[in-house]
Amino acid sequence: MKQTTEYIYNISNKKKNRVDFGDGEFVVSNFKQAEKSLESSRFSIKTVLKGEEKYFLNGKKHVLTPGKFLVVNKNTSVDIVVKDIEPVKGVCLFPPEKLVNDVCKNFSCSQTELLDNPFEELSDLNFTQKIFRLSENKTGQFLHQNINAILQMRMQNESIDFESFYVDLVELLISDQLEINNMLSSLSSIKKCTKEELYKRISLTRDYIQDNYTEKINLNELAQNAFLSKYHFLRSFKALYKQSPYQYLLKLRLEKAQELKSKNYSIAEISELVGFSDAKNLRKALQKISA
C-alpha cells in the first residue's frame, strides 16, 4: 500500500480459550494517499468518517463519503484509492465469517433444516453491493449509533462487547437484504443480476431526489441519470417504492415543510426553502396532511 499517513490499526475481540464465532475485525485507517488491490476480498462493511475513499468492486466505481456505507461481498476484486490533502479517516468492519453464515442460515432455513443440518454451511451469501446512506436502513442507523461510540470507548480504555456488536450488525444486514430481495421480487426481470443492477440505478435516482429536492426535477432528468427509458424508469421506481418519483418528491418536500413550520418559519419562507412552486399550494397541501 502506498501511503503518506498517520496510522492504521485494528480493534479486535481476541480472547484466548474462548468459544465464540471467531474474531471479527474493526479496522480504522487515516490516510492522505493510499492505493491497494485485492484479487479476492473478505466480506466487509466500509464507512468513512472524514474525507473520501474510492472503491472499484469488480471494476465498478463506488465513491464513499461520510454518512454512507458500502457492503463488499466475499471473493470480490477490490481496488482502493485514497487521495486527499487532509487525512481520510475510514472504518472497515470484517464480521466473523462463521457468524455471517450462521445468521444467514437462521433467516433462510426452516427449524427442521436447522435441526437436521446444524453445521452445514450455505454456499451463497451474497449481499447487494452498493453505497447505502446511513439513514436509509436499519444497518446504517446501527453503524451511525455505534461506530463513534466504540472509538470513544477505545480511547477511554473501556471494554467493548464485540460479539454482541457483530451479532446485532449481521442480523440487521440480513434483515435489510431480505427487504431488498422483496423489492427485487416486484421487478419483472427474470435474472437476479439484472434486478440488482436495476435496483442500484433506481436507488441512485432516489438519492438524487433526496439531495436535490429543492430544485426543479423532471422525469427526463431522472431517467437519464438511471440510463433508462422514461417508461422503464417510471415503472421500476413505482414497483420498488410503491409511489411515483413525483409522489416521492412531494412527500419529501412536505416532510421538510412540516419540520420548518414547527420552527416557526412563514409559509412563504418554507415554500422557497423546500422548492414548492407556490406558497398557496403549499398551505393547501399542509392542511390536507393535518386534516
Residue 123, pLDDT score = 54
Of 24-38, 107-121, 128-142, the one with minimum mean pLDDT is: 107-121
**170 to 101, 125, 201, 225: CA distances (angstroms):** 10, 12, 25, 32
* pLDDT above 60 for 116: no
* pLDDT class of 19 with cuts at 50, 70, 90: very low
* pLDDT above 90 for 44: yes
The answer to whether the predicted template modeling score (pTM) of the entire model surpasses 0.85 is no
**Mean pLDDT of the 44-49 span:** 95
Any bridge partners for residue 290, and if so which?
A: none
Cα gap 238→240, rounded to integer Å: 5
What are the extents of the domains in the chain?
2-185, 192-290
Residue 70, pLDDT score = 96
**Considering the chain, what percentage of its residues have pLDDT values greater than 70?**
87
Question: Where does residue 267 rank: exposed (0-12), middle (13-18), buried (19+ CB within 10 A)?
Answer: middle
Q: Would the CA dihedral through 210, 212, 217, 221 be positive or negative? A: negative
| C-alpha torsion 145→147→148→154, nearest 10 | 130
* pLDDT above 60 for 22: no
| Per-residue pLDDT tens digits for 202-219 | 999 999 999 999 998 888
**Mean pLDDT of the 242-258 span:** 91
| Per-residue pLDDT tens digits for 81-110 | 998 888 999 999 999 888 888 888 776 665
Residue 18, pLDDT score = 39
- Mean pLDDT across the chain, nearest whole number? 85
**What's the CATH code, domain 2-185?**
2.60.120.10
Residue 7, pLDDT score = 59
Instruction: Determine the straight-line distance between the first and last CA of the chain, rounded to whole angstroms.
Output: 60
Secondary-structure class of domain 192-290 per CATH: mainly alpha
Higher pLDDT, 8 or 212: 212
